[in-house]
Amino acid sequence: MAATTEQRAEPLPPRGSTAWGRLKRNSLAVVGLAIVVVIVALALAAPILPLADPNITEPADRLMPPFSEGAWLGTDQLGRDMLSRLVWGARVSIAVGVAATLVAALIGSTIGLIAAYFGRITDNVLMRGVDMLMAFPYLLLALAIVAALGPGLINALLAIAVVNIPFFARSVRGATLGLVNREFIEAARLSGFSDTRIILSELLPNVLPVIVITMSTTVGWMILETAGLSFLGLGAQPPQADLGSMLGDGRGLVMTAPHVSVVPGVLILILVIGINLLGDGLRDVLDPRLKSGALSRPVARTEVAPGPPSGSGDKGALLEVTGLETEFRVGRRVLKAVNGVDFTLQPGESLGIVGESGSGKSVTAMSILGLVPTPPGIISKGAIRFQGTDLLRLPLRDLQDIRGNRISYIFQDPLTTLNPLLRVGDQVEETLIRHQGLSSRAAMAQAVELLNAVGLPDPRTKARAFPHELSGGQRQRVVIAMALANRPDLIIADEPTTALDVTTQARVLDLLNDLRRQTGAALIFITHDLGVVSELCERVLVMYAGRVVESGPVDAVFNQPRHPYTAALLACVPVLGEPDRSLAAIPGLPPAVDDLPRGCAFADRCPLVLPDCRAREILLARSGEGRRSRCIRWQEVGHG
Amino acid sequence: MLGYALRRLALTVPVLFGISVIVFLVISLIPGDPATAILGAFATPDNVERIRRELGLDQPLPLQYVTWLSGVLEGDLGRSYSLNRPVVDEVLDRFGPTLILAGAALFLCSVFGLVAGVVSAVRQYGWADKVITVAVLVGISTPSFFLGIMLILWFSVGLGWFPTGGMYALFGDGSIRELLWHLTLPATALAVVATGVVARLTRANMLEVLRQDYVRTARAKGLREGRVIFRHAFLNALVNIVPIIGIQAGFVLGGAVYIESVFQWPGIGRMLVTAISTRDILLVQGGVLVVAASFVLINLVTDLIQVALDPRLRRG
C-alpha cells in the first residue's frame, strides 16, 4: 500500500484558506470576475450613464463607422448609437439569461429535492420525465416551446429555462441522495418536522453549493441561447433589442457595415468567456473533486535531477544502487521517500525489502526503471547501475529496451495492473513482440505456452479472456507470465500477493519461486510479510523512513536482529505454536518524510534511545559478517 | 454483444414514446384556440373546422394522442398550411442536408477535440497544453451564429475562398467536391463549441487514465510511449468520451438551427425557424420529432460503440 499512497500524493490546499482566498489565487477566475463585474456594472448603470437614447433613429447618420465623432462605436442602419444600444442590449441579454437561470434553478432544484427526498415512485416519475427532456437535442425543444407560445423575449426565456431544468434536477437530486439518510435528517423527522420544513431548512442549505455550481456553469449557455433565439428573430421583438437581435439585424449588412454585427457579437463572446472563467473558478473552489484536469499525469519516466554520471563500481554485480534519493515535490513540501539507499545484488540472488507502509521500499524499487510518477516524483541523487550501465542517465529509448526485457516488474494489485480492455493473451504477446520482434502468430503461441507455464488451466481459451473474466489469482498468474516472458535477469515483485486471498497467495508465491529458480533470474521482493521473505529470499534490507536501517543474510537478521526496528517488526509476527506470545505493535508512527529529524528517525519509538541518537546522523555501519546496521547500540538489541 | 444490442434497442422504445408525448403536448401549450393559432386569424371557418377534426381537438387529450400517434406511425405528420404539402415530405426533403451538416460537424469535433485533448493531457503544463486550454475556453464561449458571420466575413467576403451560403452553387454540377466546398464554413462554425467540450473532457479523461496502474504496467513492459498513450491510455479514455460525443450530437443538431439560418443551408433548422415565424405548428412538430428521434438513434449507436470498446459493459 505504501506505493499507492505515495504515488497518489496530491497537492494539499494551503491551510486555513477561505473560499474567497482560493478564488483570488486563481488568476483566470479573477480575470473572469473582472470581465463580468465591468459588463454587469455598465448594464446596471445604463439609465444613469450619459448615453444617447438607444431607440432614437437618425437616418442622416446611418451606418457611421466606429470612432466617428459623437458615436464611438458608430451607428446602425437606422442611425441609432451603437454604444448606447450595446449597453442597453447587454442589460436585456444579461437580465434574460440570469432570469432563465433562476427559473431553471428554482424548478430544477425543486424537482431534484423532491425526487430524492420522497424517493420511490415520486423519484421514478419525476426523473423519467427529466430523462425525456434530456433525450431531446437541447435547442430543438426550446424551439418547439417558442413555436407553441409564439416568438417573444419572455417566451424565449421560458423555453431556455425549461430545457435547462434537467441539469439542475439531476445534480441536485444526486447531491440530496447523499444526504437523505444522514442522521440529522433522521433526527429532524423524529422531531416531527414537516417534510417541507426538512427540505427547506435542512436539505436546501446543504445542496446550495451544488445549485450555485450548476448555475455558474449554465448561465453562460443560457445567455448564449436566449441571444441565439433573438438572433433568429424568435426572442426580443423590435423596438426592444438584446445583443442577439442586434447581431441578427446586423447580419444582412455584414458586407457593407460589419461593425453593426461585430460589435454585439464580440460583447457576447467576451461576456460568456468571463462567465465561464468565473464559473470554472467557482466550481474548483466549491467542489474541488470536480476540478477537471487538476490531477497530474505521470510522464514516461521519473525525472532525474542533473548530476555527473557515476563511475563503475562492483564489476560482477547485476544491480548496484548507490546513494539513491527519490523525493516527491508537492507544492513547497519535499517528501523524501527514499533518502540515500545503497545496495548491491548479484546475478541470481534474491533480496527481500521489508518495512512499514511509507518506508520507501516500493519507491526504491520503482526508481530502478524510472517508474516513480513524475510529477511529483523526482530522483534527486544517486546512481543505479545495471550490468554496469547507469540506468538513471540512460536515454529513454534504451531504458525502454531494458524495461520488461532484462528487468521486469510484478505489481501489487492484478485487478488494476492489467488493461481491462485487452485480452490477457494480447497483453502477454505485446511484450514478446516488443522485445523479441516475434511475429504476432509466434508471439501468441509463446504467450499461450507462458500461460500454461504459470499454471492457468486451459491456457488457449484463457488467452482470449478479458481480465475481468479471471479470478484474482489467475490474473496475477498472467502478470507473472508477462514478467517472465523475455527471461529477465531481474524480477522486481512489489507485494505481488497482498491483494490475493491466503491460499492463493501461497500457490502464487511457490510458482514465482519455482519459475525464478528455473530461469536463474535475480529477485527483489518487496513485502511487509517477514515470513515470506524468510522463505523466498537470501538477503534482506529493512527500510525505515526512506533509509536502510539494517541489512544482511535473512537467517542471521531474523534470528538475531541488530536494529531495534527489525526487532520490533519481528515481534509483530505471530509464531505458530506459541499462542501465548504477545503481539507487540510498534508504538508511535514513523516520522513525516518532509520533516525528518537530524538524528535517528526511529528514536521516538525506540526502547534503546540515548541522547546521542538524536544528536547526529547515524551511519549504516558493519554489524557482523555481511551485515550492516544503522544503530549505535546494535550490540544490545535483543538483549533486554 | 448481439444480446446487449437487442436489449439496448428495446430500451429506446420507451424513450421514443416519451418524446412523442412531449412533442404532442407542445400543441396544448398554445394559448387560446390551437386551430386558430395554426391557421392564423384570417382563416375561414371551414378550414378551422377541418383542422379541429384533423387534430381531434373535440376529443379528450389521451384519445387525441392515440389518433395522432397512429398517424405518425403510418408516416402521417399532418399537412403544412404554410407550404400546403404533407409535413412528412417537407421534413424528409430537409432532413438530408441537416444530417450532412451535423454529421460533418460531429466528425470535425470528434477528430479535433480528441487530438487536442490527448495532446493537452500528454503535454500537461507545457505550452501546447496552455494554448489548447485557452483555445478551448474561447471555443466553448463562442456564439456559433456570430462565428458563422465572422467566417463569412473573412473567408467568403474577404478572401473569397468559400461561398457565402447555400449547399450547392446555383448553376453548379452538384458534385461532392462542390458540396464539401459549401460545407466547410458552416460545418466549422457548428463544430467549434462541441470541439471545445470534447477537447476539455478528453483531456480530463486522459489525465485520469494515464494515472492508472495498467499504464504503469504498459510502461514497465518497455512499450514505446506512443503505444502506451494510444493502445493503453487512449482506448480506455475513449470508453468515457464516446457518450460525450453522443451528447454533442444533440448540441450540434440544435445548433444547426443557427448555422443553417446564417448560411442559408436548406435543412430542417432553417425550415423550423420559418415555420415558427409563420406559426406552422404541425411543421415544427414534425421537424422536432424527426430530429429528436434521430438523436435517440445516435445515442444508441454511441452506446453500442462504448460497449464494443469495453468488454466489462457487456454483462447484464
Hey, are the CB atoms on A430 and B276 less than 8 Å from each other? no
For residue A188, how many other CB atoms are within 10 A of its CB?
17
Give the pLDDT of residue A413: 80
The yes-or-no verdict on residue B316 having pLDDT over 60 is no
Can you tell me the mean pLDDT for A13-42? 76
Distance, CA of A272 to CA of A39 (rounded, Å) = 11
For the ranges A354-363, A592-601, B40-49, the maximum mean pLDDT occurs at: A354-363
Interface test with B, best of A93, A272, A297, A476 (most B CBs within 10 A): A297
Where residue A540 falls among pLDDT bands split at 50, 70, 90? very high
Give the pLDDT of residue B99: 93
Give the pLDDT of residue A75: 75
Can you tell me the mean pLDDT for B76-103? 89
Give the pLDDT of residue B193: 92
The yes-or-no verdict on residue B112 having pLDDT over 50 is yes
The yes-or-no verdict on residue A399 having pLDDT over 50 is yes
Can you tell me the mean pLDDT for B174-202? 90
- The dihedral through the CA atoms of A441, A443, A445, A451 has a sign that is negative
Instruction: Find the range with the poorest average confidence among A251-260, A298-307, B149-158, B175-184.
Output: A251-260
How far A596 CA lies from chain B's nearest CA (Å)?
Answer: 28
On the question of a cis peptide bond just before residue A309, with omega within 30 degrees of 0, the verdict is no
Give the pLDDT of residue A288: 58
Can you tell me the mean pLDDT for B133-137? 91
Where residue A249 falls among pLDDT bands split at 50, 70, 90? confident
Distance, CA of A250 to CA of B72 (rounded, Å) = 40
pTM of the entire structure? 0.86
Question: Do A614 and A553 form a contact (C-beta atoms < 8 A)?
Answer: no
Question: Do A283 and A291 form a contact (C-beta atoms < 8 A)?
Answer: yes
Where residue A157 falls among pLDDT bands split at 50, 70, 90? very high
Chain B residues within an 8 Å CB radius of A431: 221-223
Give the pLDDT of residue A1: 33
Q: What is the pLDDT of residues A412-446, one digit of tens each?
A: 887 889 999 999 999 999 999 999 888 889 999 98
Can you tell me the mean pLDDT for B127-132? 90
Instruction: Find the range with the poorest average confidence among A117-131, A139-153, A574-588.
Output: A574-588
Where residue A82 falls among pLDDT bands split at 50, 70, 90? confident
* Residue A328: partners with Cβ closer than 8 Å, 6 or more residues away: A6, A9, A334, A335, A337, A376, A377, A378
Nearest to B207 among A220, A297, A404 (CB): A297
Give the pLDDT of residue A3: 37
Residue A107 C-alpha cell reads as 424548478
For the ranges A85-99, A254-268, A295-309, the maximum mean pLDDT occurs at: A85-99
User: Which of A406, A536, A410 lies closest to A480 in space, CA to CA?
Assistant: A410
Where residue A639 falls among pLDDT bands split at 50, 70, 90? low
Phi, psi of B143, rounded to the nearest 5 degrees? -70, 120
Give the pLDDT of residue A294: 52
Instruction: Find the range with the poorest average confidence among A38-42, A399-403, A493-497, B130-134.
Output: A493-497
Identify the closest residue of chain B to A300 by CA–CA distance: B225
Hey, are the CB atoms on A131 and B18 less than 8 Å from each other? yes
Give the pLDDT of residue A19: 66
The yes-or-no verdict on residue B101 having pLDDT over 90 is yes
Where residue A578 falls among pLDDT bands split at 50, 70, 90? low
Going from N- to C-terminal start, the domains of chain B cover: 2-81, 97-279
Chain B residues within an 8 Å CB radius of A292: 200-201, 203-204
Where residue A5 falls among pLDDT bands split at 50, 70, 90? very low
Q: Does B69 touch chain A (CB under 8 A)?
A: no
Phi, psi of B49, rounded to the nearest 5 degrees? -65, -40
Question: Which of A369 and A615 is assigned the larger pLDDT?
Answer: A369
User: Which of A51, A31, A238 lies closest to A43 in space, CA to CA?
Assistant: A51
Q: Does B73 touch chain A (CB under 8 A)?
A: no
Distance, CA of A166 to CA of A164 (rounded, Å) = 6
Give the pLDDT of residue A289: 56
Chain B residues within an 8 Å CB radius of A148: 26-27, 29-30, 281
For the ranges A82-86, A97-101, B246-250, the maximum mean pLDDT occurs at: A97-101
Q: What is the pLDDT of residues A178-232, one digit of tens each?
A: 888 888 888 888 888 888 888 888 888 888 988 988 898 889 989 999 999 999 8
Give the pLDDT of residue A309: 65
Where residue A580 falls among pLDDT bands split at 50, 70, 90? low
Give the pLDDT of residue B105: 95
The yes-or-no verdict on residue A595 having pLDDT over 70 is yes
As a whole number of Å, the CA-based R_g of chain B is 23
Chain A residues within an 8 Å CB radius of B137: 273, 276-277
Can you tell me the mean pLDDT for B73-79? 85
Collapsed DSSP state (helix, strand, coil) of residue A316 = coil
Identify the closest residue of chain A to B284 by CA–CA distance: A144
Hey, are the CB atoms on B26 and A371 less than 8 Å from each other? no
Distance, CA of A200 to CA of A477 (rounded, Å) = 56
Give the pLDDT of residue A428: 92
Question: Do B230 and B173 form a contact (C-beta atoms < 8 A)?
Answer: no
Question: Which of A505 and B235 is assigned the larger pLDDT?
Answer: B235
Which single residue is written with the C-alpha cell 483566470? A28
Cα angle A92, A94, A95 (rounded to 5 degrees) comes to 65
For residue B180, how many other CB atoms are within 10 A of its CB?
12
Distance, CA of B80 to CA of B88 (rounded, Å) = 9
Domain covering A29-290, topology = MetI-like fold (1.10.3720)
* Residue B308: partners with Cβ closer than 8 Å, 6 or more residues away: B1
- The dihedral through the CA atoms of A49, A54, A59, A63 has a sign that is positive
Q: Does A133 touch chain B (CB under 8 A)?
A: yes
Q: What is the overall mean pLDDT for chain A?
A: 83
Can you tell me the mean pLDDT for A350-360? 87
DSSP H or E segment with residue A522 = strand A522-527
Hey, are the CB atoms on A404 and B29 less than 8 Å from each other? no
* Residue A438: partners with Cβ closer than 8 Å, 6 or more residues away: A432, A446
Total beta-carbon pairs less than 8 A apart between chain A and chain B: 251
DSSP A94-105: HHHHHHHHHHHH
Distance, CA of B189 to CA of B151 (rounded, Å) = 8
Give the pLDDT of residue A114: 92
Question: Do B55 and B281 form a contact (C-beta atoms < 8 A)?
Answer: no
Hey, are the CB atoms on A147 and B261 less than 8 Å from each other? no
Hey, are the CB atoms on A419 and B146 less than 8 Å from each other? no
Can you tell me the mean pLDDT for A569-597? 68
The yes-or-no verdict on residue A637 having pLDDT over 80 is no
Angle subtended by helix axes A243-250 and A82-118, to nearest 10: 130
From start to end of A396-508, where are the E strands?
Answer: 407-410, 490-494
Q: Does A289 touch chain B (CB under 8 A)?
A: no
> What is the separation of C-alpha B202 from the centre of its chain, rounded to a whole number of angstroms?
20
Question: Which of A163 and B56 is assigned the larger pLDDT?
Answer: A163
On the question of a cis peptide bond just before residue A376, with omega within 30 degrees of 0, the verdict is yes
Give the pLDDT of residue B258: 92
The yes-or-no verdict on residue B95 having pLDDT over 60 is yes
Burial A118-129 (b: 16+ CB within 10 A, else e): eeeeebeebbeb
CATH 1.10.3720.10 range(s) for chain A read 29-290
Collapsed DSSP state (helix, strand, coil) of residue A431 = helix
Question: Do A521 and A345 form a contact (C-beta atoms < 8 A)?
Answer: no
Where residue A313 falls among pLDDT bands split at 50, 70, 90? low
Identify the closest residue of chain B to A491 by CA–CA distance: B220
Cα angle B214, B220, B224 (rounded to 5 degrees) comes to 95
CATH 3.40.50.300 range(s) for chain A read 293-402, 404-537
What CATH code is assigned to A404-537? 3.40.50.300
Question: Which of A601 and A523 is assigned the larger pLDDT?
Answer: A523
From start to end of B33-110, where are the E strands?
Answer: 79-80, 85-86
Question: Which of A273 and A60 is assigned the larger pLDDT?
Answer: A273
SS3 annotation, A50-89: CCCCCCCCCHHHCCCCCCECCECCCECCCCCEHHHHHHHH
Q: Does A27 touch chain B (CB under 8 A)?
A: no
Phi, psi of A328, rounded to the nearest 5 degrees? -110, 120
DSSP H or E segment with residue A551 = strand A547-553
Which single residue is written with the C-alpha cell 458534385? B175
Can you tell me the mean pLDDT for B225-236? 92
Out of 3.40.50.2300, 1.10.760.10, 3.40.50.2000, 1.10.3720.10, which CATH number does the structure's domain B97-279 have?
1.10.3720.10
Q: Are strands A350-354 and A522-527 parallel, antiparallel or unpaired?
A: parallel
Question: Do B123 and B206 form a contact (C-beta atoms < 8 A)?
Answer: no
Distance, CA of B259 to CA of B186 (rounded, Å) = 6
How far A612 CA lies from chain B's nearest CA (Å)?
Answer: 43
Note the residue count of chain B. 316
Question: Do A169 and A115 form a contact (C-beta atoms < 8 A)?
Answer: yes
DSSP A317-363: -SEEEEEEEEEEEETTEEEEEEEEEEEEE-TT-EEEEE--TTSSHHH
Burial A370-400 (b: 16+ CB within 10 A, else e): bbbbbbbbbbbbbbbbbbeebbbbbeeeebb
Can you tell me the mean pLDDT for A142-153? 87
Residue A579 C-alpha cell reads as 499462542
How far A127 CA lies from chain B's nearest CA (Å)?
Answer: 12
Q: Does A369 touch chain B (CB under 8 A)?
A: yes
- The dihedral through the CA atoms of B158, B160, B164, B170 has a sign that is positive
* Residue A204: partners with Cβ closer than 8 Å, 6 or more residues away: A109, A113
Which ipTM score applies to this complex?
Answer: 0.86
Q: Does A435 touch chain B (CB under 8 A)?
A: yes
Residue A212 C-alpha cell reads as 450555485
- The dihedral through the CA atoms of B21, B22, B27, B28 has a sign that is positive
Where residue A582 falls among pLDDT bands split at 50, 70, 90? low
How far B203 CA lies from chain A's nearest CA (Å)?
Answer: 7
- CATH architecture of the domain with range A293-402: 3-Layer(aba) Sandwich (3.40)
User: Which of A463, A135, A422 lies closest to B12 in space, CA to CA?
Assistant: A135
Interface test with A, best of B15, B81, B146, B229 (most A CBs within 10 A): B146
User: Which of B229, B190, B220, B172 lies closest to B107 in space, CA to CA?
Assistant: B190
